[in-house]
Structure 1
Amino acid sequence: MTEEPVVLLEGPSSVGKSTLLKSLADAHNAEVIDLDDLATRDAVLADPGLFMAGTPPVCVDEHQKAPLVLDAIKAQLNKSTRPGRFLLAGSTRHCALPQTAQSLTGRLNRITIYPLAQAEIEGHTSSLVATLFSSPATAIQAPTPKTTRDEYIQRIAHGGLPMALERDARELSNIRQSAMLPRLLGRLTSQTAQVLNIASAAADITLDERIAATPKLHIIDSGVAARLLRLTPEKLARRDATSLTEFGHLLETFVVGELQREASWMDGIAGIGHWRTHDHDEVDLVIERDDGAIIAFEVKAGSRVPGESFSPLRKNCVTK
């Protein structure tokens, strides 16, 4: 807020955006314009320019419910682009809004708010990602955690997000074939921690698509993934082949989510992604810093890791 004229807090529903927005507003003696409130929304839609011309910082919650406020903000920025003028929050990704609502591209700083990491839930301040970048020897020499398989299962299945995905997505005016959404979510969730095959998912639910890319898919919250797949802790604890495979996929999604949250706390992160070659060598997660330093992760659910499992990690480091 000391550098940018507009800061946008975005992320899943109920992840804590409104709480953070209210806290920041209180710190600046500002009021929050809550567009979830119908009366407030109607008043803002009637005269968005009036509300956006208020004393900075102008704080707007659920901004996507009245996209006209973005045009009003743009008009204000044409007069002055001093830092800290607007603080927005919303459950919809800014790039998913209609084109007319993307008028602030290049003028705002987008901050993704993720679910709480395990360290936050437990009240710890440690960060594995930060330690691996700053002092890898310290991380390697750390004692082996005593977390049991059953404890991992409980944490994976618990999650922290409500089942509000369908409701939020339906509020986007440009969502087409919305009747397919529940089936699509379930089908995509079944591919978590796997290379995404859009064509296969679309064909299974008879959805029109033209995308051919194959990134690796991870559901943002392992608890949501478990519920969409109807996987209870009891099912994940079974020793049959299907349950072991499902546990492996959800464990990887859980770990990747934890590492992504930690990386989001740091400055200087150039990119986070999955590494895969045409020869099918792959590394589950690679995090790269601006200076070219990288850390790579391979997630295994078994109690032992054979030596060949490290081969892709070595190739990744040589390639980088």
Structure 2
Amino acid sequence: MRGEEPVPRFQSSAVEESLADTPVVVVHGARQVGKSTLVTALASGCRQPVVSVTFDDPETLEAARMDPTGFVAQAGQGTLVIDEVQRVPEIMLPLKANVDRDRRPGRFLLAGSADVFRVRGVGDSLAGRVESVRLMSFSQGELARREQPEDFVAALLRRPAAPELVGMVAGEGSGPVEPLSPTVVLAGGFPEATFRTPRRRDAWFRTYIRRLADHDAYEYHGGGFQDEMEKLTRLLAAGGASEIVQSRLAGDLGTSDSTMGTYLRTLRTMNLLVEVPSWTRPVRGRAVRRPKAALTDTGLSAGLGRLTQDNVQKPGMREFYGAVVEQLVMLELIKQQGWSSETFEIYHYRDNDDLEVDLVIDLLDGRLIAIEVKSGQTVKTDAFKKLERFRDKVSDHDVIGVVFHGGKTVQVLHDWIYVLPIQALWKLD
């Protein structure tokens, strides 16, 4: 990446839209996903005066703690940009009072490596005054330096025919569709890790988690968790995208269920854990309500789980690779959710009749997109049967079925099931 054009960040449009009508905008995400770079770029394009500070600077940090009321007023009629805002949670009440006196949009642009409203000591939610934008690691469309953001859901809703889909997935002039390369899955999207060699990337991930465990885990949780954080993140990495069974994790880590609950909350605060809830609208058969969760990046999961290009097809690791491929699909959809032209929520589905659907996209108008993910290059009939069973259970909804796979096949079956290579997620226009 060094010396090349900067990788575009498609979430910048969401931040700009929020600044246009909201007094306080918070950009939050895991450490090293590019928050400071994004916020700095947006601040440089502001038409009004900007004061930029960071709480990584000890003098600035002390000034904010000594006089938070005066600190938040320093930008006057301009915009105050604060990086690492979670370091001074007590600033939120003076900021609220300041906003209540002057509700102009775009007054405060805050960035934090923790979800500041989950941090202990924050005195108010700033409800009605703030909008939060989550920044994740690079999407595959960003890494490909697309001019326009990828938007799979919007493209699918146009119901393209199979011949059109082949061209869209292959790309103009790029030849036939190719199978998914494990390199895409293993690299992930962290700016500092993605462009390294596999060996150096794995070293970066190990150091990254160790530093978070040594410092951030103590800051956001207090004593104890830093000793267990590396073990817990490795356990979560091994699941790829899977349901969280808190009691099982507690048993694996040798701790209590309540303690595991606080550990998981800390990982959410640190933006290291991404979750999708269970889809629970009334259907025949009782739905299971546990969320499906994953670490925030497939490269991080692969690095912690020692998944490599050489062992993805070996016994034991093949199943792990499949779970990380499902994680890739889930994370890419969550990223696109931030800029898609369609408004949607993401769920998973499992009920007591042994029916599981990997992901369910719920649109505003009640339509559903049911998604199955297969890492292999061939698609078996059980994937179609799951989608058909789900459609039967929710017969009052219009359902589109999607089977993502690691191969090259592009098909439309029965006018409602789309069989697509995983690359369609970031290549469909």
Q: Give the direction of change, closer, same or farther, for the CA distance of 1:62–1:140 in structure 2 (3 Å limit).
A: farther
1:244 equivalent in structure 2:
318
Deviations 1:293-314 (A, max 9, x none): 2222211022221222112223
- Quickly say closer, same or farther: Cα 1:58–1:138, change in 2 above 3 A: farther
State whether residues 307 and 321 of structure 2, in contact with CA within 8 Å, keep that contact through their aligned partners in structure 1.
Answer: no
CA distance in 1: counterparts of 2:109 and 2:161, whole angstroms: 39
- 1:65-104 aligned at under 5 Å gives the runs 65-104=87-126
Q: Check the 8 A contact 2:357/2:387 in 1, yes or no.
A: yes
Q: Deviations over 1:12-48 (max 9, x none)?
A: 1111111111112111241211111112211222212
Match of 1:217 among 288, 293, 308: 293
Contact 1:198 1:214 in 2 (8 A): no
Q: Distance in 2 between matches of 1:101 and 1:188?
A: 31
> 1:127 — aligned with what?
151
C-alpha spacing 1:213/1:98, structure 2 compared with 1 (3 Å): farther
2:154 and 2:342 in contact (8 A); partners too: no
| Alpha-carbon distance in structure 2 between the residues aligned to 1:302 and 1:170 | 37
- The aligned counterpart of 1:7 is 25
Query: Which residue is 2:60 aligned to?
Result: 40
What is the CA-CA distance between 1:194 and the residue it aligns to? Answer: 2.1
Partner of 1:159: 188
Post-superposition Cα deviations, 1:134-190, rounded to whole Å, max 9, x if no partner, equal x122578411653335x2x11111123363342464253434531111111111222
**Length-normalised TM-score, structure 1:** 0.90
Matched, 1:280 2:354: yes
> Quick check: 1:269–1:287 contact (8 Å CA) kept in 2?
no
Equivalent in the alignment of 1:231: 307
The number of residue pairs the alignment matches comes to 315
Return the letter of the residue paired with 1:132. L
Say if 1:304 and 1:38 are closer, same or farther in 2 by CA, change over 3 A: same
Structure 1 counterpart SS, 2:25? strand
Amino acid of the structure 2 residue aligned with 1:296: A
2:243 equivalent in structure 1 = 195
Amino acid paired to 2:330? V
Per the alignment, do residues 31 and 171 of structure 1 end up closer, same or farther by CA in structure 2, a change over 3 Å counting? farther
In structure 1, the residue corresponding to 2:231 is in which secondary structure?
helix
Identify the match of residue 174 of structure 1 among 199, 221, 230.
221
Tell me the CA shift for residue 268 of structure 1: 4.9
Alignment partners' CA distance in 2, 1:45 and 1:268: 42
Aligned-pair identity (%): 28
1:107 to 121, 124, 129: 129
Distance in 1 of aligned mates of 2:189 and 2:143: 10
Residue aligned with 2:101, SS? coil
Q: CA deviation at 1:127?
A: 2.4
Task: Kindly state the Cα deviation for residue 192 of structure 1 after the two structures are TM-superposed.
Answer: 2.0
Aligned counterpart, 1:263: 337
2-side partners of 1:101 and 1:259: how far apart? 33
SS at match of 1:262: helix
SS of match in other structure, 1:299: strand
Deviations 1:92-145 (A, max 9, x none): 013421153444244210111121111111122342222012x12257841165
- The answer to whether the 8 Å contact 1:184/1:202 transfers is no
Structure 2 gaps of 5+ residues are 1-18, 171-176, 191-203, 262-287, 398-429
2:368 counterpart of 1:294: yes
Q: Secondary structure at 1:265's aligned position in 2? A: coil
Q: CA separation in 1, counterparts of 2:162 and 2:243?
A: 29
Are residues 81 and 268 of structure 1, via their aligned partners in 2, closer, same or farther at CA, if it must alter by over 3 Å?
farther
SS class of match (1:78): helix
User: Which residue identity lines up with residue 52 of structure 1 in the other structure?
Assistant: V
1:107 to 1:174, Cα distance in 2 relative to 1, 3 A: farther
1:60-114, Cα deviation, whole Å (9 max, x unpaired)? 1110011122122012023122221111110101342115344424421011112
- 1:64 and 2:86 aligned: yes
Distance 1:279 1:100 in 2: 43
Give the letter aligned to residue 384 of structure 2. Answer: F
- CA drift at 1:264: 1.8
Tell whether the 8 Å contact from 1:8 to 1:87 is kept in structure 2 after alignment: yes
Q: Distance in 2 between matches of 1:267 and 1:176?
A: 44
The offset of 1:200, in angstroms, is 0.9
The letter of the residue matching 2:91 is V
Normalization by structure 2: what TM-score? 0.68
Decide whether the 8 Å contact of 1:180 with 1:207 is kept in 2: no
Q: Distance in 2 between matches of 1:197 and 1:132?
A: 33
- Mapped to 2, the partners of 1:199 and 1:140 lie a distance apart of 48
Alpha-carbon distance between aligned partners in 2 of 1:277 and 1:3, rounded to the nearest angstrom: 42
